[in-house]
Amino acid sequence: MTVTECCYAVGFIFCALFAVVKWNTVRYSRKGMPPGSLGYPFIGETLPFLKQGPLFIKRGRSRYGNLFKTHALGSPVVISMDPDVNRYILLNEAKGLVPGYPDSMRKILGTNIAEVHGAVHKRVRGSLLSLIGPMAVKDRLLPEVDEFMRSFLDNWDGKTVDLQEKTVEIAFFSSLKAIVEDEPNSFLESFKAIFDKMAVGTLSLPFKIPGTEFYRGMKAREKLLTLLRDLIGKRRASSATHDDFLEHLIKTENVNQKLDDDEIIEQIITLLYSGYETVSTTTMMIIKYLNDNPSFLQEAEHFAIMQKKLPGERINWDDYKNMSQTRAVILETMRLASVISGVMRRTTNDIELNANIDGAYHLLGFIIPKGWRVYVYTREINFDPILYEEPSTFNPRRWLEKGLETHNHNMLFGAGGRVCPGKELGLVKISLFIHYFVTKYRWEEAEGNKKLMKFPRVLAPEGLHMKITKY
């Protein structure tokens, strides 16, 4: 090769590399977009996004401000940490800001509630609310949860238990048993094993290549669909009656809430998925925080309730409503552990953030192009020193002050038309777990519980082992 040819070759390689590195920037280039970097083609900045988590976002914030762009999990994303803009986004689905979870999640979870909008969303949400909304909890579900927690927490005395494993079981089986009341334990166990494989795949790169979490997740989805179709078929063919969600979904006479079989299946997957990690992780983290901050153990509240009861008498709605300090502990745990770091939206048209969004003039002129994702990142707001004095301190008492739970910038359960319909059910499950746990047992952290991950999932990779003794 001559010197000239060598120069051409080097020049070509250099240009090719430059084109590869800058491909995303060129491809998505538009005037008026927020600052930020789009990383490499296809993978964008997925790896640092997943690996560094909150640190990646903190760095972005200090470099670009409260609103910046990146490319992660298969699409360009605008990350917003501005509380007013976040609220605006969640309250304005009709302007073209629909739920926009990553492709991996959409493909594995199917046409779930996040995938439907307008009138269909209203119908599906109405059906869900009739199953799990506050009225259903008060009238039907609370006794079932009470029964479940009591028997689940039986017999722990003298054992060392992995609280992570147990809280995962509590969250999953309490939901699955509400959906199908009388399937044998062997069915419930194998259903959980398949569901868990599916759930792991929801947060991965959506490449269907054997060996990847996404591939395993898609395969698990197929198996789950077969199981659920069989269950529905069995129910339709039987004349026996049941008192569970599946029966309610199949037999509802309310025309506004009638769902076909595919919609029933999606509804079941939605119920299991949405009420799973949120409830299990919060419950686990509560025990961890109470362990580290024993002065907040609100046992007096629970013993006061117990003293008014006959032996074996159930907790009722009024008792639950009297657990105000427990509620404060739950909310403080959710804030500090950031069980939900944020929620995602997708733009169905160009969104111009040029309005006076409750005084957010500083964002004047930014455009979020059609088809992009918006990560409404609420984790930073959870640590806002104006809203939460000494934000890094575990202080449940702050939630007893008037107004914090209903503050516009508290988005622990979302906001707007998608605000969590399972909030009260989730709080009831966690509160009743705490009730029976603190009135029955004391616990001590076992050796080797050092590691706790907070992103992308709150997780104790080696478990959270506690030595349990009778109180």
Of 21 and 419, which has the nearer Cβ to ligand HEM?
Answer: 419
CB 121 to ligand HEM: min, Å: 6
Interface with ligand HEM: number of residues (CB under 6 A): 27
**Sheet containing 97-99: order of strands:** 67-72, 75-80, 373-377, 342-347, 97-99
For residues 163 and 161, what is the distance between their CA atoms, to the nearest angstrom? 6
Torsion of CA 25, 354, 77, 75, to 10 degrees: -70
Of 345 and 398, which has the nearer Cβ to ligand HEM?
Answer: 345
For residues 227 and 197, what is the distance between their CA atoms, to the nearest angstrom? 15
Contact between 279 and ligand HEM by CB under 6 A: the answer reads yes
Segment interacting with ligand HEM, rule: CB under 6 A, options 181-189, 202-210, 352-360, 411-419: 411-419
β-bridge partners, 40:
44
Among 220, 351, 425, 458, binds ligand HEM (CB under 6 A): 425
Contact between 341 and ligand HEM by CB under 6 A: the answer reads no
Torsion of CA 152, 248, 132, 125, to 10 degrees: 150
For residues 307 and 335, what is the distance between their CA atoms, to the nearest angstrom? 31
Three-state SS sequence of 169-218: HHHHHHHHHHHCCCCCHHHHHHHHHHHHHHHHHCCCCCCCCCCCHHHHHH
Q: Are 275 and 175 in contact (CB under 8 A)?
A: yes
Contact between 286 and ligand HEM by CB under 6 A: the answer reads no
Tokens of 377: 């990142």
Q: Is the peptide bond before 83 cis (omega within 30 degrees of 0)?
A: no
Contact between 100 and ligand HEM by CB under 6 A: the answer reads no
CB 383 to ligand HEM: min, Å: 17
Residues 66-95 that bind ligand HEM (CB under 6 A): none
Is residue 234 classed as helix, strand or coil in its secondary structure?
helix
For residues 81 and 62, what is the distance between their CA atoms, to the nearest angstrom? 12
Of 105 and 464, which has the nearer Cβ to ligand HEM?
Answer: 105
CB 339 to ligand HEM: min, Å: 6
Per the annotation, binding residues for heme are 420
Contact between 336 and ligand HEM by CB under 6 A: the answer reads no
CB 81 to ligand HEM: min, Å: 16
Segment interacting with ligand HEM, rule: CB under 6 A, options 156-164, 187-195, 399-407, 421-429: 421-429
Q: Are 367 and 32 in contact (CB under 8 A)?
A: yes
For residues 287 and 462, what is the distance between their CA atoms, to the nearest angstrom? 16
For residues 25 and 35, what is the distance between their CA atoms, to the nearest angstrom? 11
Can you tell me which residue has the tokens 């970097």?
Answer: 37
Residues 175-214: x where in contact with ligand HEM by CB under 6 A, - otherwise, as a string: x---------------------------------------
For residues 313 and 142, what is the distance between their CA atoms, to the nearest angstrom? 13
Contact between 420 and ligand HEM by CB under 6 A: the answer reads yes
Q: Are 257 and 224 in contact (CB under 8 A)?
A: no
Residues 116-135 that bind ligand HEM (CB under 6 A): 125, 128, 132
Residues 26-65: x where in contact with ligand HEM by CB under 6 A, - otherwise, as a string: ----------------------------------------
Of 357 and 376, which has the nearer Cβ to ligand HEM?
Answer: 376
Contact between 340 and ligand HEM by CB under 6 A: the answer reads yes
CB 12 to ligand HEM: min, Å: 46
The number of beta carbons lying within 10 Å of the beta carbon of residue 56 is: 19
Among 87, 327, 398, 418, binds ligand HEM (CB under 6 A): 418
Name the residue whose CB lies closest to ligand HEM: 422
Of 39 and 102, which has the nearer Cβ to ligand HEM?
Answer: 102
Contact between 434 and ligand HEM by CB under 6 A: the answer reads no
Q: Residue 34 has what DSSP assignment?
A: P
Of 415 and 460, which has the nearer Cβ to ligand HEM?
Answer: 415
Which residues fall within 8 angstroms of residue 395, CB to CB, at 6 or more apart? Answer: 332
Binding positions for ligand HEM, rule: CB under 6 A = 99, 113-114, 125, 128, 132, 175, 270-271, 274-275, 278-279, 282, 334, 339-340, 343, 412-414, 418, 420-422, 425-426
